[in-house]
Amino acid sequence: MTDIQSLQQSIAELANDTTDETLLAMACQVLRGEADQVVWPDQTER
């Protein structure tokens, strides 16, 4: 699995697991190349 496929899978899992629109928006920024990481509320980087 490539890095992009792994990231896409992680985003899909996030979309299924959360209703936090801010978190989803940050994840979409990563997919669009506007950011290089998302910091979850528990302060872990993914």
Q: What is the predicted pLDDT for the residue at 46?
A: 53
Best CA proximity match to 22, nearest among 1, 39, 43: 39
**pTM for the whole structure:** 0.49
Which amino acid type is present at position 10?
S
Q: What is the dihedral of CA 19, 23, 25, 29, to 10 degrees?
A: -150
Tens digits of pLDDT across the chain (46 residues): 788 788 778 878 877 887 888 878 887 887 788 887 777 666 665 5
Q: What is the predicted pLDDT for the residue at 45?
A: 55
Q: Hey, is 17 helix, strand or coil?
A: helix
Q: Which residues pair with 13 in a beta bridge?
A: none
Which amino acid type is present at position 35?
A
44 membership: H or E segment, kind and range: none
